[in-house]
Structure 1
Amino acid sequence: MVRSNPQRRAALVDAAIEVLAQEGARGLTFRSVDTEAGVPPGTASNYFANRDELLTQAGARVYERLVPDDETIARQRAAGRDRVAYAGLMRELVGRVSGFRSGYLALLELRLEATRRPELRKILTERVRADLDANVTYHLGSGLPGDATAVQLLYLALNWLIVEQLTLPDVLSPAERERLVTAAVERIVTE
Structure 2
Amino acid sequence: MKRSLWFIVAIALAAGCSRDPDDLREWRPSDHDHTDNPSNDQVSAAPDSGRPPDTGIQGVNEVTIATWKAKCTTCHGMVGRGDGPRGAMVRARNLADKNWQDTVSDQDLAASIKNGRGEMPAFDLPQETIDGLVKLVRMLVPRPKAAADAGAPEGGTAPANPHAGVPGAPPIANPHAGVPGAPPIAPKGSAP
- The interval holding the TM-score normalised by the smaller chain is under 0.3
Report which structure shows greater RCO (CA 8 Å, sep ≥6): 1
How does the TM-score come out when normalised to structure 1?
Answer: 0.26
Structure of larger gyration radius: 2
Larger proportion of helix: 1
